[in-house]
């Protein structure tokens, strides 16, 4: 499990060490870690550091100091380096060290921004040391003009590797929100502990890979802002059938999905649930959809009954339900059943407050916007996308349900409890029907869950595990070309086989 902390918490943890005079030592540890990571990247990209070209973007604070010291070490290994100062007062000792190793220095202005961008683009490496945890708001002019710089991962062809020092400049270290212009990186080397802002919203997209350098703060940190499940955590959440099991004891999942208008969603959710592994799927829906399910998934048991007449351990309701009134009623009944229930897509509009954490809502940003607005907290999609962490937390607290907000980094918030972020996905997963397969995976995990509610956050952990399995399946599928939702179940099986063998 990776734990991320708000920038303010990390700063508070640093304070006793700073008061004890350890500031310069901490900075050297941070700079050394940044140098190691940047050197590793240069070696992977071009085989050697000697002869490489580096640009350091250095702002007024300690973040600029870290970056300048790291660049000094690269100068010592034969890299040629230019420091671009984005503020008048940069860390004087670090700048002197950089100059002492032969680094060139220029000051960024609005007039020379084009020249600086060209210099960055023709270099091998850009170190972003403009703003760290002391940043307030987005990048201001003239540094805002550098936000168009694309890191190598987002540009085909020649582009510099961009390494962010502690966090991408312009991103809120507490929330991942981007109040204004910000820089994107290929790699973020973060100090002491990952910041919450690296795992949510624009911050998660901007950070690229995350590497954490231990500078000795861990004993001073409490209460993570966000957690991320790793492979071992997910493997530990999966229930494997035991020799004495039968199909009912393994877990039966009820799926109320699809409508005459959208039958495919039901097929996708069912296929993903079966691939994740359940004792049985009981499928409820209108006749044309049942016929399709019978053809595609003959193992599913189909009926047109009501939720109360259907004996299952968990529900999925909503994918492709459209305006079908019976499906809407099933979603309402599933939410009221007390059983774990995934409420997706069209069924989210039936959500009321006072649900329990066993109800898991799975909106995308547009659906979350509508949900919050329906609950009297009017907002718009742009606001949700700019700061998804605050919005997902608010939705969980308002409804009492667990809320999974889909996106590049999928966030899961338990009401009043922990937040998880999973970012294993690929943008190729942004394709119609992909969300339906996520519902199926999560439904199967809930139906087969043998651990039961293990305290606050149990359902959020299962939802985070589902998001991770889904993301990994998408990434695996994308190795063979653009992702088609109907091919995800095969990839889900391969991902799970990997977890179960490990």
The residue ranges that bind ligand ADP (CB under 6 A) are: 345, 364, 406-408, 410, 425-427, 429-430, 432-436, 438, 470
Is 65 one of the annotated binding-site residues? yes
What separation, in Å, do the N-terminal and C-terminal C-alpha atoms of the chain show?
A: 16
Please tell me the distance from the alpha carbon of residue 446 to that of residue 449, in angstroms, as a whole number.
5
Identify what 425 binds: ligand NAX, K ion, ligand ADP, none; CB under 5 to 8 Å per kind: ligand ADP
Question: Is residue 265 at the binding interface for K ion, with CB under 5 A as the rule?
Answer: no
List the one residue from 55, 94, 215, 467 that touches ligand NAX (CB under 6 A). Answer: 215
Is 320 one of the annotated binding-site residues? yes
Residues in the chain: 502
Please tell me the distance from the alpha carbon of residue 214 to that of residue 40, in angstroms, as a whole number.
17
Is 21 one of the annotated binding-site residues? no
* Among the residue ranges 59-67, 290-298, 420-428, 454-462, the one whose residues contact K ion (CB under 5 A): 59-67
Please tell me the distance from the alpha carbon of residue 87 to that of residue 17, in angstroms, as a whole number.
27
Identify what 169 binds: ligand NAX, K ion, ligand ADP, none; CB under 5 to 8 Å per kind: K ion
Identify what 406 binds: K ion, ligand ADP, ligand NAX, none; CB under 5 to 8 Å per kind: ligand ADP
Is 169 one of the annotated binding-site residues? yes
Instruction: Provide Rg for the chain, Cα atoms.
Output: 25
SS3 of 438-500: the string is: HHHHHHHHHHCCCCCCCCCCHHHHHHHHHHHHHHHHHHHHHCCCCCCHHHHHHHHHHHHHHHH
List the one residue from 123, 169, 313, 390 that touches K ion (CB under 5 A). Answer: 169
Size of the site for ligand NAX (CB under 6 A): 25
Q: How far is the CB of 441 from ligand NAX (least distance, A)?
A: 37
Are 368 and 405 a contacting pair, CB within 8 Å? yes
Question: Is residue 128 at the binding interface for K ion, with CB under 5 A as the rule?
Answer: yes
Question: Is residue 177 at the binding interface for K ion, with CB under 5 A as the rule?
Answer: no
Residue that has been written with the tokens 């671009």 in this structure: 84
Q: How far is the CB of 388 from ligand ADP (least distance, A)?
A: 11
Nearest to residue 472, comparing CAs of 274, 269, 255, 234?
234
Q: How far is CA 108 from CA 56, 105, 143, 146, 422, in A?
A: 12, 10, 7, 10, 37
Q: Which of residues 131-150 bind ligand NAX (CB under 6 A)?
A: 131-137, 139-140
- Residue with Cβ nearer ligand NAX (109 or 305): 109
What binding mask, one character per residue, do residues 158-197 give for ligand NAX by CB under 6 A, x or -? -------xx------------------------x------
Nearest to residue 92, comparing CAs of 112, 65, 70, 57?
65
Binding site for K ion (CB under 5 A): 63, 128, 164-165, 169
């Amino acid at each position: 499990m990776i734990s991320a902390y708000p920038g303010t918490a990390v700063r508070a943890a640093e304070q006793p060490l700073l008061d004890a005079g350890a500031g310069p030592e901490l900075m050297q540890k941070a700079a050394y870690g940044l140098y190691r990571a940047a050197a590793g990247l240069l070696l992977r990209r071009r085989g050697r550091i000697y002869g490489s070209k580096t640009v350091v973007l250095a702002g007024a604070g300690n973040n600029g100091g870290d970056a300048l010291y790291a660049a000094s070490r690269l100068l010592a290994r034969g890299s040629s380096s230019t420091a671009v100062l984005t503020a008048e007062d940069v860390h004087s000792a670090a700048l002197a060290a950089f100059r002492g190793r032969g680094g060139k220095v220029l000051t960024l202005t609005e007039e020379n921004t084009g020249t600086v961008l060209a210099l960055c683009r023709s270099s091998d490496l850009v170190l972003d040391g403009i703003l760290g945890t002391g940043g307030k708001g987005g990048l201001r002019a003239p540094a805002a003009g550098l936000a168009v710089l694309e890191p190598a991962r987002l540009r085909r062809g020649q582009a510099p590797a961009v390494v962010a020092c502690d966090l991408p400049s312009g991103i809120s270290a507490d929330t991942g929100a981007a109040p204004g212009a910000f820089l994107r990186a290929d790699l973020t080397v973060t100090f002491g502990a990952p910041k919450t802002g690296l795992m949510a919203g624009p911050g998660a997209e901007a950070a690229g890979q995350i590497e954490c350098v231990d500078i000795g703060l861990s004993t001073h940190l409490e209460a993570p802002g966000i957690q991320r499940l790793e492979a071992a955590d997910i493997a530990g959440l999966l229930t494997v059938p035991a020799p004495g099991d039968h199909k009912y004891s393994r877990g039966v999942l009820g799926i109320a999905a699809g409508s005459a208008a959208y039958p495919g969603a039901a097929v996708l959710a069912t296929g993903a649930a079966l691939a994740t592994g359940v004792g049985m799927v009981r499928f409820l829906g209108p006749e044309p959809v049942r016929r399709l399910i019978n053809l595609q998934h003959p193992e599913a048991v189909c009926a047109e009954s009501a939720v109360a007449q259907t004996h299952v351990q968990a529900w999925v309701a909503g994918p492709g339900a459209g305006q079908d009134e019976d499906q809407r009623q099933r979603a309402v009944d599933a939410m009221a059943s007390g059983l774990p229930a995934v409420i997706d897509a069209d069924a989210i509009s039936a959500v009321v407050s006072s649900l329990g954490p066993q109800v898991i809502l799975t909106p995308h940003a547009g659906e979350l916007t509508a949900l919050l607005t329906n609950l009297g907290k009017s907002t718009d999609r742009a606001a949700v996308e700019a700061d998804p962490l605050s919005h997902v937390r608010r939705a969980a607290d308002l409804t009492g349900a667990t809320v999974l907000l889909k996106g590049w980094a999928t966030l899961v918030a338990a009401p009043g409890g922990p937040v998880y972020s999973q970012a294993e996905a690929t943008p190729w997963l942004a394709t119609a029907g992909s969300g339906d397969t996520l519902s199926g995976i999560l439904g199967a995990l809930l139906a087969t869950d043998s651990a039961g509610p293990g305290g606050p956050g149990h359902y959020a952990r299962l939802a985070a595990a589902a998001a991770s399995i889904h993301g990994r399946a998408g990434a695996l599928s994308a190795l063979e070309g653009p992702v088609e939702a109907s091919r995800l179940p095969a990839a889900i099986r391969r991902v799970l086989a990997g977890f179960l063998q490990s």
